[in-house]
Amino acid sequence: MRAAWAFAGLSVLALGGVVLYLSLGNAKPQGGLVLSIHAAPRPVSELAFEDGAGRSRSLSQWRGKVVLLNVWATWCAPCREEMPALDRLQRKLGGGEFEVLALSIDAAGAAPVKRFYEELGIRSLAVYVDPSMRATTTLGALGVPTTLLIDRQGREIGRRTGPAEWDGPQAVRIFEYYVSRGKRP
């Protein structure tokens, strides 16, 4: 009988741990950014996608800039939560040295992305779409949103799966650090 109670107690603890893990795993980020920076830069395979006008684009067009590549979709609730922060980050840091590249994997193309941007008041992010959804496989994304920090040579230097406060103070310091590292005198 004692063994049965002990087993039941362990089962409840294990179940509680799973529930805690799931609830923490789905928690909305609070005041910070958890971006895993790699020990060494990793190659990024070339990506082909379209801009909002249907023109072909590729990731290599951003070489020379630090890029925050965010793979997302309009139907993704965490993406909806973090998109305004990405827009504010682009407004704050975007330009000659840094770019937020928000790449939608919506199969319907640019139209739903444009509606989404309009609905949320997104003004600083350009529309980029991969209707084939190949970007998720090419980048090894386990889900959306998945965000990669890419250096000026087009190599992945950090990654996050899940939403984040991309325009928070910690995040901005990280991006400013990588932008300042590659500036030419």
Q: Give the span between the Cα atoms of 17 and 53, in whole angstroms.
A: 48
Q: Does residue 25 fall inside a structural domain?
A: no
Question: Do the Cβ atoms of 84 and 164 come closer than 8 Å?
Answer: no
> What mean pLDDT do residues 164-176 have?
95
pTM over 0.75: yes
| Phi, psi of 167, deg, nearest 5 | -105, 15
CATH number, position 98: 3.40.30.10
Q: Does residue 110 fall inside a structural domain?
A: yes
Q: Give the span between the Cα atoms of 77 and 48, in whole angstroms.
A: 25
Q: Give the span between the Cα atoms of 48 and 42, in whole angstroms.
A: 19
Question: Which domain does 50 fall in, by range?
Answer: 32-181
Question: How high does pLDDT run on average in the chain?
Answer: 85
Q: Does residue 7 fall inside a structural domain?
A: no
pLDDT at residue number 23 = 27
Q: Does residue 60 fall inside a structural domain?
A: yes
Please count the structural domains in the chain. 1
Q: Give the span between the Cα atoms of 173 and 12, in whole angstroms.
A: 42
